[in-house]
Amino acid sequence: MREKVICGLDVGSSKVCAVIAGFLPAEKQLNILGVGEERCSGLKHGVVVNIENTCRAISQAVEKAEQEAEVKVKDVIVNINGHHIEGHMHQGATKIPRADREITSEDIERVINSARAVPLSSDRQIIHAIPLDFKVDNQAGVENPAGMEGSHLEVDVMLITGDCAPMNNLDKCITRSGLGIKRTVSTLLAPTCTVVASEEKELGCILVDIGAQTINMAIFVGGALKYIGEIDMGSDYITYDLAYGLKTSFNEAKRIKEDFGCAVTDNILETEIKYVGVDGQSSHKTTNKEVNKIIEPRVDDIIDLIAEEIASSGHQQMVPSGIILSGGGSELKGLDEAIRRKISNFQVRLGRPRNIKGKEDRANSPKYATAVGLMEYIMNLDKEPWMSDVSHASHGGFWDKLKAWFEEVF
């Protein structure tokens, strides 16, 4: 069977990342072929505010990935982000009317659809309906009830919903860039597919995806997604503080942050830093210690907000695997250690895409976790065919869409 090609497109608040990979369905492993990245000024807090700028960034990021991969892509798997994304728990139930009482895929779809039947305003829609726990008669904790015998089937479902307008605007940007949308996936779910081990989800863990202007959080307990949250702050706020404090441009401040910034300043040797002022011409000097004095207060603010979000979830005592960091903002030197020191009850590690080959050195970075995770998410769909996952960009019923996609790809 020949290798297929897919493209994960991470449209973030400050940049667009495209990763193209090939894969053999039987292997269930991505073969990284090309990576493209382009700065984007067309989004704020994950929502499109300038279609033209966003289109340009999408086109350029995909073109860069195509040039490196030496292939052309027609469709992408894209993430949806923004504070309008919400998650709520709902329950569904159905009777098994047949004499043999054997639970079929149709019964599973019916019970999930019953959980989806919640009133939504006309400007919102369901992005994902994720079954977390099935109950057959009085037996809870059933992972997949297909083939089991019972008279009553129940399910707890996490419904992830979003506003229609931001999603439609993102659709426009992608289609105007000459690309089709194969699937839309919440940013909250994509990194978990590639940076979090199944054992960590089972034991209980927290994914903290730090973007430029938002921080997304997903908490897993007993292998199931139990909580999602978003913090309206990201790594760009550190850059803004540096730009203001050093009286330089945003891009120069970003360079200084990435090259010299550190969230933990213990035993750091003082280094002189040369940079240009906000006018782009005048020369200035500072030191890494002065830079870190500016960085530290904002890092403390971000960690405090993360700690507050964890506490508000009610699951802080149920995640012994600790915190896994992903996203470009997590690459600030020493950030994992700073979080470990301030939120002392948790282990903290930096998450990188797993189970990839080919040009893995190009994609083996937390900032590519979402783009790689989007492709992993699609690959995993057939492992859990009962997951009622609906892309707003597609047409037809869930099973028709899933069948059509797999027939085309496989």
13 pLDDT band, cuts 50/70/90, is confident
Res 406: pLDDT:
41
Question: Do 127 and 202 reside in the same domain of the chain?
Answer: no
Domain-ending residue, one of 162, 183, 211: 162
Q: Are 32 and 358 within 8 A, CB to CB? A: yes
Q: What is the pLDDT of residues 188-224, one digit of tens each?
A: 889 999 999 999 999 999 999 999 999 999 999 988 8
Say yes or no to pLDDT of 405 above 80.
no
What are the residues facing 78 on neighbouring strands?
9, 184
Say yes or no to pLDDT of 403 above 60.
no
Residue 271 in any domain: the answer is yes
Q: At what angle do helices 236-246 and 250-260 cross, to 10 degrees?
A: 110
Q: Are 51 and 176 within 8 A, CB to CB? A: yes
Q: What percent of the chain has pLDDT over 70?
A: 92
410 pLDDT band, cuts 50/70/90, is very low
How many structural domains are present in the chain? 2
Strands 75-80 and 4-11: parallel
- Rounded Cα distance, 142 and 128, in Å: 20
Question: Do 116 and 231 reside in the same domain of the chain?
Answer: no
Q: At what angle do helices 51-69 and 164-176 cross, to 10 degrees?
A: 50
Residue 294 in any domain: the answer is yes
Q: What is the pLDDT of residues 288-342, one digit of tens each?
A: 999 999 999 999 999 999 999 999 999 989 999 999 999 999 999 999 999 999 9
Structural domain span for residue 138: 86-162
Top mean-pLDDT range of 27-41, 59-73, 114-128, 345-359: 59-73
Say yes or no to pLDDT of 63 above 60.
yes
Res 166: pLDDT:
92
92 pLDDT band, cuts 50/70/90, is very high
Q: In what helix (H) or strand (E) does residue 77 lie, and over which residues does it extend?
A: strand 75-80
Question: Do 93 and 145 reside in the same domain of the chain?
Answer: yes
Question: Do 141 and 245 reside in the same domain of the chain?
Answer: no
Residue 170 in any domain: the answer is no
Question: Do 219 and 282 reside in the same domain of the chain?
Answer: yes
Say yes or no to pLDDT of 386 above 60.
no
Q: At what angle do helices 335-342 and 288-313 cross, to 10 degrees?
A: 50
27 pLDDT band, cuts 50/70/90, is confident
Q: What is the pLDDT of residues 259-272, one digit of tens each?
A: 999 999 887 889 99
Say yes or no to pLDDT of 25 above 80.
no
Res 138: pLDDT:
83
**Residue-averaged pLDDT of the chain:** 88
Residue 139 in any domain: the answer is yes
Domain-ending residue, one of 350, 365, 397: 350
